[in-house]
């Protein structure tokens, strides 16, 4: 029995595998990825602040030093050295790999003395973040989101001058040399999802599905199929160990059931022998005694024919009572042991049973011979089914049908009574008081037959018994 791999129930084992293994793993991976991004960005910001702070400070000191060297070499005051006198192209030729940034040397009034990179038109550099601060003599590294990716701005005043240096770089230019976790984030999440799905697949394939298969086979054990767990179900080793244990339990149950069947067979045989003995005694002794009593009553009636009519009437009633008693004892004797079955065979015995019960009788196929045990079982099941139909079903019509085939014989007893809802398993019949049905099933199993009940409330009941002849 193959179960669908991805049928899902919140309270099922598959949901528990997902909730307690795969889902926590996925959540942990996602948390780890996001925390890694946050930690990476914090580290990169700290690194950018430190690096750009040192860079702009070093460049500012280098420009001041070059300005002093130029003044000393040309024997002029430092204040007279202009920006054009310095080789600023060489001094400020510093940029990060693959970076496209801006380096600007500003005068005290914000005018650009030197620049490299992209400057805004019409001296809009005064609107840049950090320009006002550096013109005021401050130095710092700040981050701005004016552009798509954000920029890093480092600024510092040139010592002993009225100049200021500002460096602006795109934020992504600083992170490109390193591993940018935010770019590999989709890959991390894809990997986490793939691992989760693989874990879920292997959990379903090697844990959930084998357990469900094992559970369905265990239900078959309850229905009497004791070899249901003989074949492996796959999965992990613990599940295979559980299957082996269930197989051992099934073997023990089969052994116990065989012993119980032997016991029931012995009890049934002893019961039938006792019934036969009682039937013979009733037929051979009690009935004969009643017959002799009837003859005596007849003789007494003849002697009193000339006496009062009332005495003759009493004796007539006595003879009727004796005749009724004889018939009841004979019926009781036949119920205890079917003499017709021994003397005339199964078909005649069933026909007589149907006639006495007011049921219809039909035979299909040519009757075949079978041993006494099977004949008696078939007769007793028909007898019990008729008793149930008369006592409990409130049926107007009952039909007995026997169908003979080449190797099998099938008995059906149908009624149009009130019916009932059969339980899913026969062992549940004990709780509903249907002990007669249990007895019929046990009798069928003792000879290797198949027994079934078809019924529904308001739709009558059909008892079916088949066996190999």
**pLDDT of 2:** 44
**pLDDT of 241:** 83
DSSP reduced 3-state for 466: strand
Go through 82-105 and write b for each residue having 16 or more CB atoms within 10 A of its CB, e for each that does not. ebeebebeebbebbbeebebbbbb
Other Cβ atoms less than 10 A from the Cβ of 434: the count is: 20
128 backbone dihedrals φ, ψ, rounded to 5°: -65, 150
Between residues 329 and 61, which one has the greater pLDDT? Answer: 61
Taking only the tens place, the pLDDT of each residue in 365-416 is 888 888 888 888 898 899 889 888 888 888 889 999 999 988 899 999 999 9
Fold of the 344-469 domain = Heat Shock Protein 90 (3.30.565)
**pLDDT of 6:** 43
**pLDDT of 370:** 87
Select the CATH number that applies to the domain covering 13-182 from these four: 3.40.50.300, 1.10.3470.10, 3.30.930.10, 3.30.450.20: 3.30.450.20
Q: How far apart, in whole angstroms, are the C-alpha atoms of residue 23 and residue 18?
A: 6
For the record, the structure tokens of 82 come out as: 């202009």
Top mean-pLDDT range of 43-52, 190-199, 328-337, 383-392: 383-392
Taking only the tens place, the pLDDT of each residue in 421-455 is 887 665 555 555 566 787 888 888 888 889 988 98
Q: How far apart, in whole angstroms, are the C-alpha atoms of residue 98 and residue 373?
A: 100
pLDDT at 280 over 90: no
The strand ranges marked E within 234-341 are none
Q: Which residues pair with 168 in a beta bridge?
A: 102, 153
Cβ contacts of 203 within 8 Å, gap of 6 or more:
14, 17, 18, 21, 22
Query: In whole numbers, what is the pLDDT of the chain averaged over residues?
Result: 76
**pLDDT of 23:** 67
Do residues 348 and 340 lie in contact, with contact meaning Cβ atoms separated by under 8 Å? yes
Residue 363: pLDDT band with limits 50, 70, 90? very high
Q: What is the mean pLDDT of residues 314-333?
A: 71
**pLDDT of 219:** 83
Domain boundaries, the chain: 13-182, 344-469
pLDDT at 304 over 60: yes
The answer to whether the predicted template modeling score (pTM) of the entire model surpasses 0.75 is no
> What Å distances lie between residue 67 and 28, 97, 385, CA to CA?
57, 28, 122
């Amino acid at each position: 029995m193959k179960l669908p791999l991805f049928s899902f129930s919140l309270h099922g084992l598959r949901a528990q595998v997902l909730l307690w293994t795969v889902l926590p793993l996925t959540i942990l991976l996602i948390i780890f990825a996001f925390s890694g991004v946050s930690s990476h960005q914090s580290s990169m910001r700290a690194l950018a602040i430190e690096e750009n702070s040192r860079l702009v400070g070093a460049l500012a000191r280098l420009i001041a030093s070059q300005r002093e060297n130029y003044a000393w070499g040309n024997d002029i005051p430092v204040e007279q050295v202009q920006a054009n006198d310095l080789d600023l192209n060489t001094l400020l030729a510093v940029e990060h790999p693959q970076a496209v940034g801006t380096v600007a040397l500003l005068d005290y009034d914000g005018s650009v003395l030197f620049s490299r990179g992209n400057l805004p038109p019409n001296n809009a550099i005064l609107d840049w973040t950090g320009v006002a601060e550096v013109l005021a003599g401050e130095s710092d590294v700040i981050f701005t989101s004016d552009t798509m990716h954000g920029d890093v701005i480092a600024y510092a005043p040139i010592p002993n001058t009225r100049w200021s240096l500002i460096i602006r770089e795109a934020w992504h230019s600083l992170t490109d040399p390193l591993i940018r976790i935010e770019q590999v984030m989709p890959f991390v999440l894809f990997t986490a999802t793939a691992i989760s799905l693989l874990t879920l697949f292997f959990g379903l394939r090697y844990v959930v599905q084998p357990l469900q298969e094992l559970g369905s086979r265990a239900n078959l054990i309850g229905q009497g199929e004791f070899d249901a767990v003989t074949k492996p179900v796959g999965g992990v080793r613990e599940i295979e160990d559980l299957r082996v244990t269930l197989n051992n339990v099934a073997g023990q149950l089969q052994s116990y059931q065989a012993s119980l069947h032997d016991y029931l067979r012995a009890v049934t045989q002893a019961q039938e022998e006792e019934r036969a003995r009682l039937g013979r005694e009733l037929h051979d002794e009690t009935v004969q005694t009643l017959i002799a009593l009837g003859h005596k009553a007849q003789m007494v009636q003849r002697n009193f024919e000339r006496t009062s009519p009332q005495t003759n009437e009493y004796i007539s009633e006595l003879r009727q009572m004796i005749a009724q008693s004889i018939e009841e004892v004979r019926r009781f004797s036949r119920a205890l042991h079917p003499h017709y079955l021994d003397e005339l065979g199964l078909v005649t015995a069933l026909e007589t049973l149907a006639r006495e019960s007011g049921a219809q009788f039909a035979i299909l196929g040519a009757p075949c011979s079978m041993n006494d045990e099977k004949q008696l079982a078939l007769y007793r099941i028909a007898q019990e089914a008729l008793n149930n139909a008369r006592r409990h079903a409130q049926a107007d019509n009952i039909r007995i049908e026997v169908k003979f085939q080449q190797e099998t014989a099938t008995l059906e007893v149908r009624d149009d009574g009130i019916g009932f809802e059969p339980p899913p398993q026969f062992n549940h019949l004990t709780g509903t008081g249907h002990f007669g049905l249990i007895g019929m099933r046990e009798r069928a199993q003792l000879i290797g037959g198949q027994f079934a009940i078809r019924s529904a409330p308001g739709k009558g009941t059909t008892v079916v018994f088949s066996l190999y002849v």
